Chain A
């Protein structure tokens, strides 16, 4: 069995994950990932059914045609049944993007759709939906000296002493091919394709991976529904109430959250985030490459904050 640290949890797995951070441990694992036969139905009554997905408060079942079925239960166990001849990188991708988040919700933690970089030992979060530009911005800031803490998902939970705790997911950032062009960098041989026919590439950062949680410095929300109207890049501080309303929509895999009846956990966790840190909204002219200007404006703001 392979042992890893990821999403703030001890993971033991029959599947080898080059994406995860290898970490030998003697404790009881938080999550066990095993090959096996996934059930056809949930044991309990589903609270939410969608295409090829069933969810109940402590169970999650997903079928990805031609790839695998995944069954995640009780916050501690994932069973994977790969399809015959399935590409293993695809099997791993849907496990890391779907089955793991089900486990996180089952454990009353919130997988926030956010990338994060480190500034003065604290975290700057960039929240946004898919294709909003989180990873591109984090990669740009990483190149300017602000190390990437986590890409795409940050795991949030409220500790026993009522503090907000934020863990990274795993040491790989992911970029679409066109983001390399936006950043004016060459894709290297070290970048790994997430699926064989997908132009999205992972970049490992195991060497600088931060296992521990960090305090929050500030939060940015990338608004991709409303473009900037006055300048190429507009950043404005938003009120705690406005921030809460925007952040409530930012957990990764919202359907899982609803199906597992975690709206109260989502509310308390993200309310804590909105009151613990300043929250800013970013709007951009979506027809321009604004990455350099955006990075400059973010850096200027955090230095004068």
Chain B
């Protein structure tokens, strides 16, 4: 499918802890291009689940709305968002929600203003420890979440509805991947986190080409240097990072294959037995560990 360049929104989609933030930081540095990059003031437009963003385009106190009412409004909200940002050529938005339909049968991610999406995928075995650190929960709890077909991020119990982000339906890890893989309404580029690590320049260049960003190799290299894992971690340790509870660290290790040292055989097999089919499609270990 070809990209419609008249459309503005580029979705940066992923299951949590899959390289989305690294790419957003890179993109911010690339767009800013003055070396004064700050992890807490990225040059992109926000997150799909933000109540504050929703409330800029509706006349509602979003806390008064039920989830199904919000899901019905979201496509219109982001269409309006694009309409009211005519001066911007591209609008970058992060999204962790699975690509699902609302009660009207419409995708919650509207096609009308969407240029394309980049979907970041990471070995789910490596996600476990990273997600656990992010959420402050045990590995076993995170495995249950990743295997749960009705898992939510930022969900609230007992009809509470007052967090800064809307609850985001993730589905299980596999279903999250497949929900974005089979989008037919706009082009989706799937990028492996492991390729971002192993072949950084080529992979990031592939994404910028896909999005249609004019950037030289020199500019991409400069943005990559500014947002290397070491640089991001250093900024977080000195100034904090407003996308995570300050008692924890967002940028943990950023490596691939560490699950071998982090997970027990049983924990790894719980992931593999649930997601092996999709893991195999993306070159991740998909056979149960016998030893």
The docked-state distance in angstroms from the alpha carbon of A98 to that of B158 is 26
Which stretch, A37-45, A46-54, A240-248, touches the partner chain B? A46-54
Mark interface residues in B240-279 (1 if CB within 8 Å of A CB, else 0). Answer: 0000011100000000000000000000000000000000
Residue of B nearest to A93 (CB): B64
B236 to chain A, nearest CB (A): 16
Q: Judging by beta carbons under 8 Å apart, are B59 and A199 in contact? A: no
The docked-state distance in angstroms from the alpha carbon of A255 to that of B77 is 14
A222 to chain B, nearest CB (A): 14
Mark interface residues in B64-82 (1 if CB within 8 Å of A CB, else 0). Answer: 1010010011001100100
B77 / chain A contacts, CB cutoff of 8 Å:
51
The docked-state distance in angstroms from the alpha carbon of A195 to that of B68 is 14
A178 / chain B contacts, CB cutoff of 8 Å:
160, 162
B66 / chain A contacts, CB cutoff of 8 Å:
195, 197-198
At the interface, yes or no: B235 with Cβ under 8 Å from chain A?
no
With contacts A65-B69, A256-B59 known, is A52 near B161, CB below 8 A?
Answer: no
Q: Judging by beta carbons under 8 Å apart, are B76 and A51 in contact? A: yes
Residue of A nearest to B52 (CB): A129
With contacts A51-B76, A176-B162 known, is A97 near B63, CB below 8 A?
Answer: no
Q: Judging by beta carbons under 8 Å apart, are B63 and A131 in contact? A: yes
Q: Judging by beta carbons under 8 Å apart, are A287 and B161 in contact? A: no
Q: Judging by beta carbons under 8 Å apart, are A51 and B159 in contact? A: no
The docked-state distance in angstroms from the alpha carbon of A4 to that of B77 is 36
Q: Contacting B73 at CB < 8 Å: which of A51, A97, A194? A: A51
With contacts A50-B80, A97-B64, A98-B59 known, is A131 near B164, CB below 8 A?
Answer: yes
A97 / chain B contacts, CB cutoff of 8 Å:
61, 64
At the interface, yes or no: B284 with Cβ under 8 Å from chain A?
no
At the interface, yes or no: B237 with Cβ under 8 Å from chain A?
no
Query: Which residues of chain B (161-175) have a CB below 8 Å from chain A?
Result: 161-164
At the interface, yes or no: A66 with Cβ under 8 Å from chain B?
yes
The docked-state distance in angstroms from the alpha carbon of A189 to that of B85 is 48
Q: What is the interface of chain B mostly: helix, strand, loop, or mixed?
A: loop
Q: Contacting B64 at CB < 8 Å: which of A52, A195, A253? A: A195
Q: Judging by beta carbons under 8 Å apart, are B59 and A62 in contact? A: yes
A253 / chain B contacts, CB cutoff of 8 Å:
59
Q: Contacting A176 at CB < 8 Å: which of B69, B160, B245, B246? A: B160
At the interface, yes or no: A200 with Cβ under 8 Å from chain B?
yes
Q: Contacting B159 at CB < 8 Å: which of A65, A131, A198? A: A198
At the interface, yes or no: B57 with Cβ under 8 Å from chain A?
yes
Q: Contacting B61 at CB < 8 Å: which of A130, A197, A199, A256? A: A130
At the interface, yes or no: B45 with Cβ under 8 Å from chain A?
no
The docked-state distance in angstroms from the alpha carbon of A131 to that of B55 is 13
At the interface, yes or no: B58 with Cβ under 8 Å from chain A?
yes
At the interface, yes or no: A209 with Cβ under 8 Å from chain B?
no
Q: Judging by beta carbons under 8 Å apart, are A130 and B63 in contact? A: yes
A255 / chain B contacts, CB cutoff of 8 Å:
56, 59
B162 / chain A contacts, CB cutoff of 8 Å:
131, 176, 178, 200
Q: Judging by beta carbons under 8 Å apart, are A177 and B63 in contact? A: no
B58 / chain A contacts, CB cutoff of 8 Å:
50-53
Residue of A nearest to B83 (CB): A49
At the interface, yes or no: A267 with Cβ under 8 Å from chain B?
no
With contacts A50-B59, A51-B57, A199-B158 known, is A287 near B80, CB below 8 A?
Answer: no
B63 / chain A contacts, CB cutoff of 8 Å:
130-131, 176, 200
Residue of B nearest to A193 (CB): B159
Q: Judging by beta carbons under 8 Å apart, are B158 and A177 in contact? A: yes
Q: Judging by beta carbons under 8 Å apart, are A287 and B160 in contact? A: no
A-B contact pairs, 23 of them (CB 8 A): A50-B58, A50-B80, A51-B58, A51-B73, A51-B76, A51-B77, A52-B76, A53-B58, A64-B69, A65-B73, A93-B64, A130-B61, A130-B62, A130-B63, A131-B164, A176-B161, A176-B162, A198-B159, A199-B160, A200-B63, A200-B64, A255-B56, A287-B246
B→A interface (CB under 8 Å): 55-64, 66, 69, 72-73, 76-77, 80, 158-164, 245-247
Name 11 extra pairs, CB < 8 A, besides A51-B80, A130-B63, A176-B160.
A51-B57, A51-B73, A51-B77, A64-B60, A64-B69, A94-B64, A195-B64, A195-B66, A197-B159, A199-B159, A200-B161
Closest 9 CB pairs of A and B: A199-B159, A51-B76, A53-B59, A199-B160, A51-B58, A176-B162, A131-B162, A130-B61, A199-B158
